[in-house]
Amino acid sequence: MAKHSQETFLECPFTVMVDTAEQMAYSFRKMRADADKKHAIWMVKTVRMNCGRHPHSLGDYSIVGAYGSVAIERKSKEDAWGTVLGWTTGWEHDRDIAGRRERFEQELANLNEIESSIVICEATLGTLVAQAPEWGVKPAALNGKIFFRSIISYQQRFPRVQWCFADTPKMAENFAFRWLYRYWEKNMKGKEQWDSTRTTFDSEPLDSGLQF
């Protein structure tokens, strides 16, 4: 029988905007507040909205009321390889649609123009380089080299766009929430009432380990 533990829940002061094209979107469940709020669990509201399409795309996540000022572009391991290495599908080629790398670079250019933007990858840079797969006629080692050099190029060409290479998808999700929270705290806090708490009994075991 599961042990009941009393938990305090706190309504998140902002609503996360999630792009309608985002698959398996972050839920931001079990994100905890700090000690001043007794480590309550944030209740994070999300809403699906269009964050733009090529050539006007602007990330996958933002804050309602701050779209065009703060944005997160999320990359799974496979998506990071596909976009940076420019793996174009036959469907795209047949329709003369811009390739994935070209679309990504345009998005980086868009993100470079706003106040606060970041690309969050769900794997470390070392993993993405060392485990880069073969593609077409290019061997894995060459793809790893291309990926590594491309990241350096992007960081210099688009210096206002930050990069985070997280150890795990869960850490990437946590980083995304903290990034948005800090933006709200430094730029939006105090503009509206937001403090709303409730206490409940939660029988579901919480994640253990470090809290970020």
Q: Where are the domains of the chain?
A: 68-202
72 pLDDT above the threshold of 90: yes
Give the per-residue pLDDT at 194.
41
| 9 close to 198: Cβ distance less than 8 angstroms | yes
The number of angstroms, rounded, from the C-alpha of 158 to the middle of its chain's C-alpha atoms is: 18
Give the per-residue pLDDT at 36.
95
Long-range contacts of 205-212 (CB under 8 A, 24+ apart): 205/2, 206/5, 206/7, 206/30, 206/41, 207/30, 211/32, 211/39, 212/171, 212/174, 212/175, 212/178
Mean pLDDT of the 65-89 span: 93
Reported as a single tens digit per residue, the pLDDT across 172-209 is: 999 999 999 999 999 999 875 444 333 333 334 445 45
Give the per-residue pLDDT at 206.
42
* Nearest-angstrom CA–CA distance, 30 and 152: 34
Model confidence at 212, in pLDDT bands (50, 70, 90)? low
127 to each of 77, 84, 85, 157, how far by Cα in Å?
9, 15, 15, 23
* Nearest-angstrom CA–CA distance, 140 and 142: 5
Structure tokens at 134: 């073969």
Give the per-residue pLDDT at 153.
98
| 166 close to 122: Cβ distance less than 8 angstroms | yes
Q: What is the mean pLDDT of the chain?
A: 88
CATH class of 68-202: alpha beta
Give the per-residue pLDDT at 89.
59
DSSP category for residue 24: S
Q: What percent of the chain has pLDDT over 70?
A: 83
Reported as a single tens digit per residue, the pLDDT across 103-152 is: 999 999 999 999 999 999 999 999 999 999 998 789 999 999 999 999 99
96 pLDDT above the threshold of 60: no
18 pLDDT above the threshold of 60: yes
